[in-house]
């Protein structure tokens, strides 16, 4: 069976000899880049999550001598605020800061990061 690719869309059989052609779907929309999966809606919100997350982890470890092992219940709260780990929070901070400032443009199979409003020379 042969498949002919002619653009974006859905593969549909077009002949009895088993040849299929990729034809454009009527509701085909161009791909829209999604925001980063770790990014927050705003920088203050992201920094607040970091304050709560890192604060809970540090407090949970620092309060062990005073409160006992129950202080470790703050650590999962911190990890939840950081969405899993400190590195995930850091990646989210980078994505939140760069949101709307850096765009990926692909032309003829070559992709580059560009800053909107600046020309390519500089």
pLDDT interval class at 30 (50, 70, 90): very low
Residue 120 in tokens: 């390519």
For 45, the 3-state DSSP assignment is: helix
Q: What is the DSSP string of 54-119?
A: HHHHHHHHHTHHHH-GGGGGHHHHHHHHTTT-HHHHHHHHHHHHHTTT-EEEEETTEEEEE-TTS-
To the question of pTM greater than 0.85 for the whole model, the response is no
Q: For 78-93, write each residue's pLDDT tens digit.
A: 999 998 889 989 998 8
pLDDT interval class at 29 (50, 70, 90): very low
Q: For 54-110, write each residue's pLDDT tens digit.
A: 999 999 999 999 999 999 999 999 999 998 889 989 998 888 888 767 677 788 888
CA pair distance 63, 72, nearest whole angstrom: 8
- Sole residue written with tokens 């605020």: 81
Contacts of 43 (CB under 8 A, 6+ apart): 96, 97
* Predicted pLDDT at 3: 46
What is the mean pLDDT of the segment spanning 10-35? Answer: 51
């Amino acid at each position: 069976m042969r498949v002919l690719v002619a653009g974006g869309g859905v593969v549909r059989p077009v002949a009895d000899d088993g040849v299929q052609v990729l034809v454009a779907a009527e509701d085909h929309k161009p791909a829209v880049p999604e925001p980063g999966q770790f990014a927050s809606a705003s920088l203050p919100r992201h920094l607040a999550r970091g304050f709560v997350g890192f604060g809970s982890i540090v407090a949970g470890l620092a309060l062990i001598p005073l409160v006992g092992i129950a202080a470790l219940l703050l650590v999962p709260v911190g990890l939840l605020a950081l969405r899993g780990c400190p590195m995930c929070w850091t990646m989210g901070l980078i994505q939140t800061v760069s949101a709307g400032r850096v765009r990926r443009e692909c032309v003829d199979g070559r992709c580059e990061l560009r800053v909107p409003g600046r020309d390519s020379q500089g």
